Structure formats: structure tokens, C-alpha cells
């Protein structure tokens, strides 16, 4: 079952703009992770936020988590053409034996 | 893609044939995973193994089999019982003590 659902499914922006992607999930979680996938490649881990954290930063990435709304957002600031990729949220649900459940992803296109 | 290799990159199968996808890691990770990704979709868990000689079914295990005879290796066999095997297959691994998964580059399987 796919617990995480990303919104929007596709996003197209100009280089230099900020990109925001959202993820909603259904059950209690231990942590939520964001991964990036370039076309036809494997996934690369970007950032992990635990259930007791509300915000986390890593370089140009900012992740927020609202456990009361069961939602998370990923903000990429000052986007670059190289940021073009699919972005997935993955939840480590409580009682899931530490397995990850992935959403369907947001396809981000950054136009030069 | 780190220290995880998958082979082959592309694989073609005739209907009724079994095929085996290779996944090897040199990261000394205990846990290994197999996911299936269909076009425009997220990842779905096929099988996972948390320790040598032990593995569990994921959400879509029917028509697939695995083995874990060595810590470094977690091959996936797609059997003829899998009715719609054309997909992108991703292998991942992680340390037991952490939550981040590391992915291989993937194998694209096409049934002719």
C-alpha cells in the first residue's frame, strides 16, 4: 500500500525560483524521508525528519513535518536545472518493522 | 549509487521464462530490499531481508522469489507466475542501526 501521496504530481518552474512539494500520509510514523530519482536511475536519499522534529535543513533543502496533519513539505530554494528529477517521500510507519512506504512522487522540471 | 551494484541494466525475457536479477553490496549492510517501480509510480516492496538466511515478503511478493545466502548478495528471481513483470527493479540496503536506504542503479526488465 502507498501511504505517502505527493502533491503536485508535476511541477515546472524557472531556474532560480523555489520549488515546494507536499506529502501526506495516513498512519503514525517513526520518520519521514525524501528521496530524489533522476530518470532511469536509482534513488538518492536527501533528508530524514523524525516524528519529534518539525523542521530540518540541508543546504538548499528545507523539510517540515506536521504530525497533527500527517503531512510534510520539501522546499528547494534557488532551484537549478540540475534539480530536475522525481522526488519521493517515504514513511517509516510505526509498527512497520522499519520498512519504508513510498509515495508516487513529484516530477520537478527546472527550466534554464 | 554507492556500493550497490545491480546487473544487468537491461533484461529481456520471453513469456514463461524465469529470470534472476543480481544485487550486490559492499557496504557491510545487514538489511537488503527489492522494490518494483512502474512508470510514473512510486516504489512497491517485493521482498526484504534483515539478516543472512532470512527474508520476508513485502506487499507484492507473488511471482517472485529471493535468497540470502551471503550478506553481500540478494538475488531476485522473477518467475513465470508473475503475470506482468515488465517494470524497473530497484535493490536497496541499509545498516540495521540507521533508517536511510541506499539504492542500486536498477534493472529494467521487459517481457517480449
Q: What is the pLDDT along chain B (112 residues), one digit of tens a residue?
A: 459 999 999 999 998 899 999 999 999 999 999 999 998 888 999 999 999 999 999 999 999 999 999 999 999 999 998 989 999 999 999 998 888 999 999 999 999 8
The whole-number pLDDT of residue A111 equals 96
Write down the pLDDT at residue A35: 97
What is the rounded CA–CA span in Å between residue A90 and residue A100? Answer: 6
Which chain B residues touch A52 with a CB distance below 8 Å? none
Residues of chain A with Cβ-Cβ distance to B102 below 8 Å are 45
What is the rounded CA–CA span in Å between residue B89 and residue A38?
15
Question: For chains A and B, what is the number of CB pairs under 8 angstroms?
Answer: 56
pLDDT (0 to 100) of residue A3: 61
Contacts of B99 in chain A (CB under 8 A): 30-31, 33, 48, 92, 98
User: Where does residue A64 rank: exposed (0-12), middle (13-18), buried (19+ CB within 10 A)?
Assistant: middle
Mutation pick from B99, B105, B107, B108 vs chain A, by most beta carbons of A within 10 Å, is B99
Burial B27-55 (b: 16+ CB within 10 A, else e): eebebbbbbbbeeeebbbbbbbbbeeeeb
Classified as helix, coil or strand, A5 is strand
In this predicted structure, what is the pLDDT of residue A6? 87
Does A103 contact B42 at a Cβ distance shorter than 8 Å?
yes
What percent of chain B is helix, strand and coil (3-state, nearest 5)?
Answer: 0, 50, 50
pLDDT of residue B56: 95
Q: Which three cell numbers mark B21?
A: 536479477
Question: Can you tell me which residue has the cell 503514525?
Answer: A28
Smallest Cα–Cα separation from A75: which of A91, A55, A94? Answer: A55
Integer Cα distance of A86 and A74 in angstroms: 12
Contact list in A for residue B45 (CB cut-off 8 A) is 99-101
Distance (Å) from the alpha carbon of B6 to chain A's nearest alpha carbon: 10
CB contact under 8 A, B99 and A48: yes
Residue numbers in chain A where pLDDT is lower than 70: 1-4, 95-97
- Distance separating alpha carbons of residues A36 and A107, to the nearest angstrom: 10
Amino acid at each position: 500500500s502507498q501511504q505517502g501521496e505527493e502533491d503536485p504530481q508535476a511541477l515546472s518552474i524557472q531556474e532560480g525560483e523555489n520549488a515546494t512539494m507536499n506529502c501526506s500520509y495516513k498512519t503514525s510514523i517513526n520518520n519521514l524521508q525524501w528521496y530524489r530519482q533522476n530518470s532511469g536511475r536509482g534513488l538518492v536519499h536527501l533528508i530524514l525528519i523524525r516524528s519529534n522534529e518539525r523542521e530540518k535543513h540541508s543546504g538548499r533543502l528545507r523539510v517540515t513535518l506536521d504530525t497533527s496533519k500527517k503531512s510534510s513539505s520539501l522546499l528547494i530554494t534557488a532551484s537549478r536545472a540540475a534539480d530536475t528529477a522525481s522526488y519521493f517521500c517515504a514513511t517509516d510507519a510505526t509498527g512497520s518493522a522499519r520498512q519504508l512506504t513510498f509515495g508516487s512522487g513529484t516530477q520537478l522540471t527546472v527550466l534554464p | 549509487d554507492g556500493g550497490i551494484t545491480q546487473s544487468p541494466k537491461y533484461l529481456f525475457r520471453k513469456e514463461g521464462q524465469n529470470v534472476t536479477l543480481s544485487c550486490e553490496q559492499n557496504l557491510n549492510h545487514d538489511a537488503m530490499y527489492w522494490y518494483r517501480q512502474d512508470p510514473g509510480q512510486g516504489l512497491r516492496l517485493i521482498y526484504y531481508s534483515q539478516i543472512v538466511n532470512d527474508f520476508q515478503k513485502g506487499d507484492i511478493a507473488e511471482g517472485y522469489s529471493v535468497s540470502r545466502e551471503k550478506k553481500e548478495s540478494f538475488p531476485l528471481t522473477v518467475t513465470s507466475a508473475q503475470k506482468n513483470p515488465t517494470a524497473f527493479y530497484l535493490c536497496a540496503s541499509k545498516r540495521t542501526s540507521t533508517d536511510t536506504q541506499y539504492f542500486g542503479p536498477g534493472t529494467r526488465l521487459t517481457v517480449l
